[in-house]
Amino acid sequence: MGLRSDQASDSTRLRLVSRGSVGGWPHVVIVGAGFGGLTAAKGLAKAAVEVTLIDRENHHLFQPLLYQVATAGLSPAEIAWPIRGLVRWQRNTRVLLGEVTGVERERHVVTMGDREVPYDFLVLATGATHAYFGNDGWAEHAPGLKSIDDATEIRRRLLIAFERAEMENDPEERERLLTIVIVGGGPTGVEMAGAIAELARKALAADFRTIDPRHTRVLLIEAGPRLLPTFPEELSRYAERALRSLGVEVWLGRAITGCEAAGVTLREERLPAGTVIWAAGVAASPAAAWLGVEADCAGRVKVGARLTLPGSDDVFVIGDTALVLDANGEPLPGLAPVAKQEGAYVAEVIKARLAGKTHARPFRYRERGQLATIGRRAAIIAFAGLRLKGWLAWWIWGIAHIYFLISLRNRLIVATQWLWSYVTFERGARLITSMHVNPKRDGHGRRGDDSARPLPRRRAG
């Protein structure tokens, strides 16, 4: 691909065009290098097409283990890999780092600010972001968990809360700092709550002299009647019992009505907290707005049986961006296996069409089961009629996650880290990489107060 000025006199945009070395090959543009987008790109590795993979990050992220970065169990590089390295040997594929700002279907171009990328086939796999149900102001006080930046920000807040509590003389403020609230009882919320409880009660237990981290209060608040509503009720109840055994307070049927720097509100009840983490909802990317089509309440674009946009058989939408219904008319969940199967399917459809064939089989998701871990030797698995819980499910959960990591290097490092953590209870990634607080993102104080300054050092002796 080369870069030249657009010749249209009424446009100052730049236009990306095919390089002469592969001139005449159809151009497939994939927006998003998550599970779905990357799988689609790899499925086209040997096809007679030119592939452009666009992402605003330079890395592919294994999101199922992101909570372990947030709780200091793993480092970011252990669950991420540079996109360019993943497609290095795909000679028909190039990577563009940047933000997509729109799609012009009539002209078959994707816009990136003042640049245009023409396409013959477009695959939108842009993922999802946090949804605060119309209360976007809560975001600065309750970060969600979708990116490495989110994970390291949550880790920073958690660790700084313990450091501030160590220096705090006011018992009430110390108690607030040692209160951690997780909002949302889905897999992310459950896994975060268990990991934070183990961090406080095991990894940090002997590290402080003024406070006892084992007295940290961890609350998991869920508006619905039970945790993990997509799992069988038997497994949900087990997860709740396992969390309570770790000292986590599980509040069910309680909805957050307010969120600020000092804590959260539940109707008339105010709950002071030093750290609030949001795991209650997601919304799809702006793809629907780019395409000029309607979206469901979660921002997802409804697609046809072959994952194409109705009326545009050259535009595919997959992953969290797409509203895909199963055989019972229920939306498919936003899970990695769903996105990967959709990405592989789209690659097959494109290759069939290039060969002048019609891909007869509509997309059907092959159920791979659900897994969630609650803590050390406690996990749950639901697959077809199989239901597992306890230590065996925990081992299977660990093996499955190591297997699906993107590279051998990551698998070896994560397996080693987990073994070390299992034997020693250590969390080696307990790093605060920035002592300065961004008042727009910090949940420990208000703008203009001392929380915007570096933490003071204790004098020796």
Give which of 383, 90, 77, 365 is closest to 235, Cα–Cα.
Answer: 383
Q: Provide the 3-class DSSP secondary structure of residue 204.
A: coil
Strands (E), 78-126: 80-82, 93-97, 102-104, 109-112, 115-118, 121-124
Q: How do strand 121-124 and strand 27-31 relate by DSSP bridges?
A: parallel
At 221, give phi and psi (nearest 5°): -110, 125
Instruction: Give the H or E element holding residue 41.
Output: helix 35-43
Residue holding tokens 């986590």?
248
Phi and psi based region of residue 157 (left: phi greater than 0; alpha: psi -120 to 50; beta: remaining): alpha
Q: Which residues contact 221 (CB under 8 A, 6 or more apart)?
A: 181, 182, 183, 184, 185, 251, 254, 256, 264, 266
Q: Which of 153, 191, 198, 240 is catalytic?
A: 191
Q: Which residues contact 56 (CB under 8 A, 6 or more apart)?
A: 97, 98, 99, 100
Q: How far is the CA of 172 from the CAs of 178, 251, 270, in angstroms?
A: 10, 22, 14
User: Which of the 8 DSSP states describes residue 271?
Assistant: E
Q: Are 301 and 293 in contact (CB under 8 A)?
A: yes
State the Cα–Cα distance between residues 15 and 5, nearest whole angstrom. Answer: 6
Q: Which residues contact 259 (CB under 8 A, 6 or more apart)?
A: 135, 138, 141, 142, 183, 265, 276
Q: Are 380 and 231 in contact (CB under 8 A)?
A: yes
Q: How do strand 275-278 and strand 179-183 relate by DSSP bridges?
A: parallel
State the Cα–Cα distance between residues 393 and 385, nearest whole angstrom. Answer: 15
Does 249 participate in catalysis according to the annotation? no
Long-range residue pairs from 331-339, CB within 8 A, at least 24 positions apart, any chain: 331/296, 331/300, 332/365, 333/230, 334/128, 334/282, 335/370, 336/35, 336/63, 336/64, 336/404, 337/365, 337/368, 338/365, 339/34, 339/35, 339/36, 339/39, 339/125
Q: Are 426 and 444 in contact (CB under 8 A)?
A: no
Residue positions annotated with a catalytic role: 191
